[in-house]
Every structure is written in C-alpha cells, then in structure tokens.
Amino acid sequence: MAVETGDMMLVRVQRENFSVDQEIDRVRNRSTRIGGIATFLGTARDHSQGREVNSITFEYYEGMAQKKLREIRERALQDFDVIEVLILHRHGAIEIGENIVLIVVGAEHRADSFQACQWCIDELKRITPIWKLEQTPSGDVWVEEHP
Amino acid sequence: MNTVQVTVKMFGLLKTLAGHQHELSLELRQGSHVRDLMDLLHARYPQVGEMILNKQVLISINQEIAHQETEIHVNDEIALLPPFAGDCGSDE
C-alpha cells in the first residue's frame, strides 16, 4: 500500500496505534533539505499523582481537536525555522506502555527541530480539547478530578 | 417570547455531573448570550454551573472559545470543555 503523504496525514487523531518509524519516514520524505528530526513520544504510564493506573481512555472533541492540532502545526511552520511537522494523538482505550501522542519535526538543523518539537507538545497540552479517564483500582477517574 | 432550541455537547467529568448525558437540549430566549446559558446551566445543573463560575470550564461556540457576551444563534455548535488532559499538571 502506498504511503499517503498529504497534509491530512500530518495531523491526525486516531484510535489505532502507530509506527514511530513510519511516521518519522513520513516527515523525512517531505524534503531532502531535512538534516535533523526531533521527536516526542508520549506513552501511558502505570501511575498518576500517587495512584496506580491500570489503563487510560482518551476522549476528544471531534473536529475542534483536529482544528487545534492543525493550528499548532501551521504556527510551528510559521514561527520556527523548520521544514515539516507531524502531530498525532490517539483516542479510546490505551493500555499501559502503549503510544499516546507523537510529535515529529524535521528541520535543516537540530536546534530548530528541538525547539519546535517542545513548543508543539506544550501547546498541544494547553489548547487541544482532549480528556483523560484513568482506570484505577479504586474506580475510573477523570484527570481533572485529581486534587 | 421567541425561543431557540440549542444543543450543548458535554465532555469528560461534566458528562457525569450532568447525569451521564453526552448532550443537553436547552431552550433559550432568542438573542441570548453565553451568560444566559451559564445562568440556565447553573439552575438546572448546579455542579456544572459551579465549575463554569470557577472558570474550570470553557464554553465554545462553533469550535472557538466564547465569552460571556458572545451571542448565541440557532444552529450554533455549543460545547462545555472541562480542563484538558494536558493542562491538569499531568504528563505522559
């Protein structure tokens, strides 16, 4: 199957797991000017604020979440000296250790890719309507319920 | 008095507080603003209303964050947004 390389594939919210290598290649193949690729991979951990966590479920606002992620990608391309940006977030039930979120930034030089990558994940967490439900031994907890 | 029927999408903890409803169907006076919706929510769902008053919940209209003075029109897509997963001090 041919790998799609359109902009649609560079910002996604999807249930399925993803291949980090495949997503890095998606960015790498956008330009031969790329000389450095920075990535951030968020994974599901088994504890949160002192509580044991068995699994996590992510809920998102269909439409608005993708819109905010597209805005983040466009602002990163505009404000940093980078060549391509990919942002991917999963929704639904996620087991401990699995992938949750991936940012991939390709630039000519490493400093720009590192800076843009950090900005993208920080901004994603700040403005994207995605919510986390943690399944714990004492019941399900929305993250905002934590003290 | 002319009224408009609006649907309000609910997410996260707010769904639980509103009796496990994904959407609320509410009737507002024509020409109502977000602050009128806040008053109605506070009357019907006090816990949800408290979270809005404490600024723990954002209200979006047509997928943009709205303000108290924003006017609500028929067919607007309205949603109540509790704190996002990444903005609660958590970190993957």
Alpha carbon of residue A55 to chain centroid? 18
Chain A contacts of B90, Cβ < 8 Å? 48-49, 132, 143
Chain A contacts of B54, Cβ < 8 Å? none
- Domain for residue A110, yes or no? yes
Name the token pair of A121.
């994940």
Task: Give alpha helix (H) positions in chain A.
Answer: 20-28, 64-79, 110-127
Chain B contacts of A61, Cβ < 8 Å? 9, 11, 60, 63, 79, 81
- Cα three-residue angle A44-A47-A51, rounded to 5 degrees: 145
Q: Supply the DSSP string of A45-70, one letter for each residue.
A: -SEETTEE-SEEEEEE-TTHHHHHHH
Does residue A98 contact residue A54 with C-beta atoms inside 8 Å? no
- The answer to whether the complex's ipTM is over 0.90 is no
- Cα three-residue angle A69-A93-B15, rounded to 5 degrees: 75
Which of B46, B38, B39, B37 is CA-nearest to residue B17? B46
- Domain total of chain A: 1
Choose, out of A64, A100, A103, the residue to mutate when testing the contact with B (most B CBs < 10 Å): A64
CB pairs under 8 A between A and B: 70
CATH number of the domain residue A96 falls in: 3.90.1170.40
Going from the N-terminus, what domains does chain B have, and what CATH number goes with each? 3-87 (3.10.20.30)
The answer to whether the Cβ–Cβ distance between B84 and A45 falls below 8 Å is: no
The answer to whether the Cβ–Cβ distance between A63 and B11 falls below 8 Å is: no
The answer to whether the Cβ–Cβ distance between B11 and A129 falls below 8 Å is: yes
Digit-coded pLDDT (tens) for A32-86 = 999 999 999 999 999 988 889 999 999 999 999 999 999 999 999 999 999 999 9
- Domain for residue A2, yes or no? no
Digit-coded pLDDT (tens) for A80-119 = 999 999 999 999 999 999 999 999 999 999 999 999 999 9
- Domain for residue A96, yes or no? yes
- Domain for residue A3, yes or no? no
Among the ranges A11-25, A48-62, B21-35, which has the highest mean pLDDT value? A11-25
- Phi, then psi, of A97 in degrees rounded to 5: 90, -15
Choose, out of B17, B80, B84, the residue to mutate when testing the contact with A (most A CBs < 10 Å): B84
Question: Residue B91: exposed, middle, or buried by beta-carbon count in 10 A (0-12, 13-18, 19+)?
Answer: exposed
Query: Cα separation of B79 and B19, whole Å?
Result: 16
Full domain range(s) for residue A116: 10-145
The answer to whether the Cβ–Cβ distance between B85 and A125 falls below 8 Å is: yes
The answer to whether the Cβ–Cβ distance between A58 and B90 falls below 8 Å is: no
Chain B contacts of A42, Cβ < 8 Å? 91-92
- Domain for residue A43, yes or no? yes
pLDDT higher than threshold 50 for residue B90: no
